[in-house]
């Protein structure tokens, strides 16, 4: 009689252990839910107030300024005086409630780029934290992406030009 009771206790303990392991593995593998487009908190025209000095491929040292345009389904960034904006299309984002960080992914020339935006009031900065090729493998960060954060960019400061984002 005692053997049957011990066997039942061992069986119940084993079943609870298996159930607990199964439940924890489901939580660990939960996928992030990406929302199509860009969040409204990021949309608009942004510009850095500070000028930076860097090496130009054309003329040695040069002053430049960062600009960002965020639309409903894409965003572009540019460093002036070089007038060639880089852009991401087919964007999606995720954001944890109460967090100041937004994660935006998009496509640029068959490379998937993942950027992290930090928002603080009417200013933001961003950096690229991951680039993936068409097959989903990590790639070297593109030359136009930076793993370090941009300068703080201020809303409503960017100049409109023919290169700015279309209104989606």
**Residue-wise pLDDT tens digits, 52-101:** 776 665 666 777 778 889 999 998 888 776 666 788 899 999 998 888 99
DSSP state of 71: -
How many other CB atoms sit within 10 Å of the CB of residue 68? Answer: 25
Pairs from 132-140 (Cβ < 8 Å, separation ≥ 24): 134/110, 136/112, 139/111
What tokens were used for 102? 């937004």
Q: Determine contact, residues 102/41, Cβ cutoff 8 Å.
A: yes
The phi and psi torsions of 121 (rounded to 5 degrees) equal: 65, -120
Q: Which pLDDT score, from 0 to 100, does residue 158 have?
A: 56
In the beta sheet, which residues pair with residue 61?
Answer: 55
């Amino acid at each position: 009689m005692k053997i049957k009771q011990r066997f039942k206790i061992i069986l119940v303990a084993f079943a609870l252990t298996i159930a607990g392991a199964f439940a924890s593995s489901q939580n660990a593998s939960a996928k992030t839910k990406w929302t199509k487009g860009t969040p409204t908190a990021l949309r608009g025209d942004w510009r850095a107030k500070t000028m930076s000095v860097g090496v130009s491929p054309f003329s040695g040292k040069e002053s430049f300024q960062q600009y960002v345009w965020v639309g409903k389904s894409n965003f572009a960034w540019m460093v002036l005086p070089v007038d060639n904006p880089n852009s991401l299309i087919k964007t999606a984002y995720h954001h944890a409630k109460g967090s100041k960080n937004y994660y935006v992914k998009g496509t640029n020339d068959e490379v998937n780029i993942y950027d992290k935006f930090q928002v603080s009031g009417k200013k933001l900065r961003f950096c690229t934290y991951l680039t993936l090729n068409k097959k989903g493998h990590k790639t070297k960060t593109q030359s136009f992406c930076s793993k370090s954060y941009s300068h703080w960019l201020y809303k409503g400061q960017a100049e409109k030009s023919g290169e700015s984002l279309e209104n989606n």
